Chains A and B, each alone.
Chain A
Amino acid sequence: QSVLTQPPSASGTPGQRVTISCSGGTSNIGRNIVNWYQQLPGTAPKFVVDTIDQRPSGVPDRFSASKSATSASLAISGLQSEDEGEYYCATWDDNLSGPVFGGGTKLTVL
């Protein structure tokens, strides 16, 4: 049972916009930037975007993130087949004094 709650699955067709939610509390999402990681099958996680719109070079701006109170979301527009994989939200928890992860959302491109 993860500190942050994500839906187990999400799906969309190529070209669609999909969103993935992440719910937490006042000690974590409520006070801190939320990061999103993409894990493609058989690979290590990779940072893709955070809620102050920081994105590593090479990550397209089709990936965006937002936050409101104790919830955050990842949006992927212009969905592509290569976006299929697992997505994790993560943030700092002030009570635990360390990072916390969500349970992951498996994104399927139909």
Chain B
Amino acid sequence: AQRVTQPEKLLSVFKGAPVELKCNYSYSGSPELFWYVQYSRQRLQLLLRHISRESIKGFTADLNKGETSFHLKKPFAQEEDSAMYYCALYNFNKFYFGSGTKLNVKP
């Protein structure tokens, strides 16, 4: 069965420090994976999708099929990155979300 796990509920870092938000998944095929972000008082929105291999707001995420991971990384965190982050997997019309990680970037 499909499952997405985000082991950290809260991650606190100082401004300028590197950030890595962990995401592991279980899926038998080739996954379609996404990171979503929810800033305070804003809608949940797409941050990036693995298939695009893009960098958005300095964030990148690499799919590691061997480790079944899709960790989100940023080399230098900014205060405006503070938000709730969700990892998600798509399979045949359905999306499976992790429980989310709250990122707190301290000044």
A and B are interacting partners: no
Residues of B within 8 A of A (CB): none
Residues of A within 8 A of B (CB): none
